Chains A and B, each alone.
Chain A
Amino acid sequence: MQLKINGQNREFDHQLSISGLLQQLQLAPERVVIELNTKILTAEAHETLLNDGDTLEIIQFVGGG
């Protein structure tokens, strides 16, 4: 499965959910916001299965304010 993540094409062996992808990328799911094909998702949508050709923006937050 090919995904475009933050502008870069990435190849994955099998179909992943968003949480599976975040695990693979070693990103903390509660600290990111995902935009899937230009639609911003809430955390409840992280079990959504991704499809070949999907475009994702992963916005990572760090603490402080």
Chain B
Amino acid sequence: MRIYLNEQPIEVPADISLFDLRQQRRPDADLLIINGHPAKQDQPLQEDDRVVLIQRGQQPRPDELDALLRARHTPGVHDKIKQSCVGIAGVGGLGSAIAVALTRIGIGKLVIVDYDLVEPSNLNRQQYFIDQIGLPKVTALQENLQRINPGVEIEAHQVKVTPDNICELFGQVDVLAEAFDAAEEKAMLTGNFLSKIADKPLVAGSGMAGYEPSNSIQTERLSDRLILCGDGTTAAEPGRGLMAPRVGIAAHHQANAILRLLLGEKPE
């Protein structure tokens, strides 16, 4: 009969038990999960059962992690994601969350660019830890992303993005995420990337401050190459700060728009 072991379909004898399976496949496993529930005792297995055998403290090998993602996402989708390279300009509230989302789904390569350091006030929304205060954001983010999925290739640059280095930094990417904080930087990047790099799309974020309704954040396709995520109006200003929930919503609009572009869909 067929069961799934760590997301992979395998053929096993019909009379096999959970402990038999562990003995054969992963005798050191000390956590046995069957159909989503931890199992303490031996039990017979049935067709299409999903078994996960874990040895605590033991990380999956890169090929095992890859197989898990392949099974979750289907091979066609997984291969496209894995072959893709995404640039992220700015790794603050938007960029760090976009990077985490794309790393979790097994993106092939990320080019992350930011000149800034992690500051205490960043921690209300950015994907850093308190012990990373003072580190360059790209260094801290690279560490965090590698802890999520070491199979993702990360190219990190601690530089300021200018009209002169955009082509050099982002010439190779399939899609660029605009994830800066200042409106002037957003406009500079968008204008220069779209006019200097011939055929690659850019997904920008504009308008996600405060705690206005979640549903006012939208993804809008302004042209084949320019997708805008946000509400378009709520700027960060005194009395209306940037906060994790709404910045996260906008960031994930961006991440999903990027994913849709990579998979050949037209975002919205």
Binding site for B on A (CB under 8 A): 28, 30-35, 38-43, 57, 59-65
Q: In whole angstroms, what is the CA distance A11 to B209 when docked?
A: 35
Q: In whole angstroms, what is the CA distance A63 to B94 when docked?
A: 12
Q: In whole angstroms, what is the CA distance A63 to B240 when docked?
A: 11
B223 near A33 with CB under 8 A, answer no
Residue of A nearest to B233 (CB): A62
Which applies to chain A's interface (DSSP): helix, strand, loop or mixed?
mixed
- Residue of A30, A60, A63 contacting most chain B CB atoms (<10 Å): A63
Given known pairs A30-B184, A40-B191, A41-B191, the reply for A63 and B236 (CB within 8 Å) is: yes
A31 near B183 with CB under 8 A, answer yes
Identify A40's interface contact among B194, B205, B209, CB under 8 A. Answer: B194
Q: In whole angstroms, what is the CA distance A34 to B180 when docked?
A: 19
Residue of B nearest to A38 (CB): B223
Binding site for A on B (CB under 8 A): 90, 92-95, 163, 179-184, 186-188, 190-192, 194-196, 204-209, 222-223, 225-226, 228, 230, 232-237, 242, 247
Residue of A nearest to B225 (CB): A40
B90 near A32 with CB under 8 A, answer no
Identify B247's interface contact among A33, A35, A65, CB under 8 A. Answer: A65
Residue of A nearest to B184 (CB): A30
A32 near B232 with CB under 8 A, answer no
A65 near B242 with CB under 8 A, answer yes
B187 near A61 with CB under 8 A, answer yes
